[in-house]
Structure 1
């Protein structure tokens, strides 16, 4: 065990001092800070450029007050998204368009309710749609008034239906579901990137040390299985260090959201169970893929040979992430349920199902049990491959050759 810890410490120190690790960690920290300030910056940009001013040819101001009351959309700074200005004539409005004072002109025509909208830019964007909807609402209100309905009766008639959405079982719904959806997507994406990044880090480290003959010298005093275990432990601690630094940055940004003009985010909105599940699936997924990559990497002597041998397992990760996106929308669907029982997909897919759906307890136990058993079998198989291949040089075997080598063990 002492040798394992010595190799793990060496692996950890060597990588944590690497310039690439420090740069990636710093960039991740900066990215988290930038994402935290992005909504405020976007709100300012939208407040400065998102609104428009529409002139209404309305000499007696009979139409413009009703339009203002109907167009209730606001910019983040509280200003109306569509500012309505009454003008006395079309010529006055046209002059305002040419000078850039107005973005568009609304011109009522005749007594039949026809209205034309003249706009300055080649594309009116959403402005015409908002005006059309507002004018339609106003027309309906006028017809109801003509039928003798009071203002209160008209408001009650046009009020949207109060639809209460309730999920069956223990699945979240409404605002809770929307909040969890964003968290699960972020955590799932981080899990996907972490498994690829750290799994390949283990493989490249094994191949690199073999190519420089360092492994030969270590094998004289340390068993190959101890080398593999120490390497996995070292990279695992490295990953926790890196994600720990990013997590601290994220927590600081969440707690100081109020200082940036936001309402702040109460950390209890992300339950501890979510963090615990993420850590559980990260550790099991890391052991599964990293040990697999370590065993296969021990069979290779050149980095160039790694692609064909490891591509199928990298493809499994990509397929697992795609399946997870599907599972986020249909967490209790047949495909998501079956996928959560496939150990190579379980870390991401079962995490999404447990957070957004209501899987039965036996399904959770079966998925995690299969993942744990497969991880243990993979670690055992990887140790045999590592032992057999760590001193093997030349062109590495194919997956079929690796299977034969494993059986021969």
Structure 2
């Protein structure tokens, strides 16, 4: 590689970085990412999330004198004690005065909802068989899954607590019955595989961090391929359509021009991804997001360095494989309006690998589909990263996948170089396969 190659690299990178469209797009995406990361917090601030939902019930005087264990009033008292013990109570149970008749009571409860005194109310229907009344939650909202699930859990808890307290059990037995079961998960390693830590497996916290790392790497690779691929192809096509290519190849050999553009675009995309990573890190370290991460046991200290190294290897190999193909396609297209259709097959290959991992691999990384995809060069940069992060593939499979990728890159680079060398000076309509093959043979 002589100075001509580095001249192309520098020119490509500087030309793209100085473009207003690139800067504006990067800024817009960074802003969208910031909004997306903080969207749950923003919504919670305006929706009142985090405040206790106020639930009403009919405060009947007859319930207070009843000898039954589970009257609506007593259940409401137990629910208030249950939620009062929480650090941030999800619900607050409030009484609505008895209006004297069933119709009047229903009207009073609905009026309380209409006046925003309560968000909904509980209706109790006696159930002699179980001894515990059937409970219905009524509100204006179409779906109240969060409230209904909370009520279901709390009602089950207060029912069990009341039965235990009424059974004459000792405090020790009560504590034994109510103590929650602790279940920890550890990813074991039957061999010292590439995804394990000293062959000992991973803890729950490490698994959570690996899942987050896999998500980030997959999205970054997909974005890098889509952004750089389109930029490489459009840059070459634009130079052909403006006849700049004729001047360029008189100073720099076609192969150096192609690989110079690929490397130049890689540096641009790398800088762009670095900006996005910084934006993500800054937003995730904000107090409202840092607390959420700690709840899930996600910490940067738990990042597996082995996974990170392999992720970088597959990121680089995946990027350069698709970049060479995009450059080859861009060299045979003379008009930018035809570029979208020309690069569609390559785009679909990248999309296929992305979707296989997102909708199949993350839930079942050890499936046959993922194992086969690990050895298909166009899918393996995605698939093997998922397997490394979420399972424990044998070391030989990882390196075989890397070897296949490297061989494919060499073949794709050689083929793309011949296509590029033949296609950059072919103007007019898109050349047929016969014309392209004939031009490629002339450049042996």
Q: Paired residue for 2:157, among 129, 137, 142?
A: 137
2:314 paired residue number: 281
* Residue 102 of structure 2: aligned partner: none
Aligned residue number for residue 18 of structure 1: 19
Distance 1:233 1:139, change over 3 A: closer
Partner SS, residue 53 of structure 1? strand
For residues 329 and 22 of structure 1, the distance between their equivalents in structure 2, rounded to whole angstroms, comes to 37
Task: Answer whether contact 1:320 1:349 (CA < 8 A) is retained.
Answer: yes
Closer/same/farther in 2, CA of residues 163 and 386 from structure 1, 3 Å limit: same
Whether contact under 8 Å (2:221, 2:319) holds in the other structure is: no
Give the structure-2-normalised TM-score: 0.81
CA–CA separation in structure 2 for the residues paired with 1:371 and 1:48 = 48
| Residue of structure 2 equivalent to 1:230 | 260
Question: Residue 387 of structure 1 corresponds to which residue in structure 2?
Answer: 421
- In the other structure, the counterpart of 1:102 is 118
Of 111, 114, 119, the residue aligned with 2:138 is 119
Q: Contact 1:172/1:357 (CA < 8 Å) preserved in 2? A: no
Kindly tell me the number of residue pairs found equivalent between the two proteins. 405
Alpha carbons 2:209, 2:299 under 8 Å: kept: no
Structure-2 change in CA distance of 1:49 and 1:234 (3 Å): same
Instruction: Name the structure 2 match of 1:33.
Output: 34
In the TM superposition, what is the alpha-carbon distance from 1:50 to its structure 2 partner?
6.0
Distance across 1 between alignment mates of 2:27 and 2:127:
66
Structure 1 equivalent of residue 367 of structure 2: 333
TM-score by length of 1: 0.87
The alpha-carbon distance between structure 1 residues 228 and 239, as it changes in their structure 2 partners (threshold 3 A), is same
Aligned residue number for residue 213 of structure 2: 183
Gaps (5+ residues) in structure 2? 65-72, 100-104, 190-195
Deviation at residue 378 of structure 1 after TM alignment: 1.2
User: What is the correspondence of 1:44-123 to structure 2 with a 5 Å cutoff?
Assistant: 44-45=45-46, 47-48=48-49, 51-58=52-59, 59=61, 60=64, 62-71=74-83, 78-89=87-98, 91=105, 93=109, 96-108=112-124, 112=128, 113-117=132-136, 119-121=138-140, 123=142
> Please, which moves more after superposition, 378-387 or 119-128?
119-128
- Post-superposition Cα deviations, 1:215-245, rounded to whole Å, max 9, x if no partner, equal 1112222211111121112111111121122
SS at match of 2:354: helix
Query: What does residue range 361-380 of structure 1 map to in structure 2 within 5 Å?
Result: 361-380=395-414
Q: 316-325 or 46-55, which moves further after superposition?
A: 46-55
**Partner Cα separation in structure 2 for residue 291 and residue 261 of structure 1:** 40
CA distance 1:167–1:399, change in 2 (3 Å): farther
CA contact (8 A) 2:318 2:381 kept: yes
Give the Å deviation of 1:87: 4.6
Report deviation, 1:400.
6.9
- Compared CA separation, residues 107 and 333, structure 1 to 2 (3 A): closer
1:201 aligned to which of 231, 234, 240: 231
Q: 1:177 to 1:12 in 2, by over 3 A?
A: same
Question: Among 304, 327, 330, which residue is 1:297 paired with?
Answer: 330
Q: After the TM superposition, which residues 344-363 of structure 1 pair with which residues of structure 2 at under 5 Å, given as runs?
A: 344-363=378-397
Deviations 1:84-115 (A, max 9, x none): 12455254756533432122333556694425
For the pair 1:220 / 2:250, whether they are aligned, the reply is yes
Indicate how the Cα distance of structure 1 residues 27 and 62 shifts in structure 2: closer, same or farther if over 3 A, else same: same
Q: How far apart are 1:167 and its partner, in Å?
A: 2.3
The verdict on how the C-alpha distance between 1:319 and 1:260 changes in structure 2, with shifts beyond 3 A counting, is closer
Match of 1:6 in 2: 7
CA distance in 2, matches of 1:227, 1:394: 21
TM-aligned CA distance change 1:97 to 1:209, over 3 Å: closer
Deviation at 1:247, TM superposition (A): 2.3
Partner Cα distance (1:155, 1:88) in 2: 37
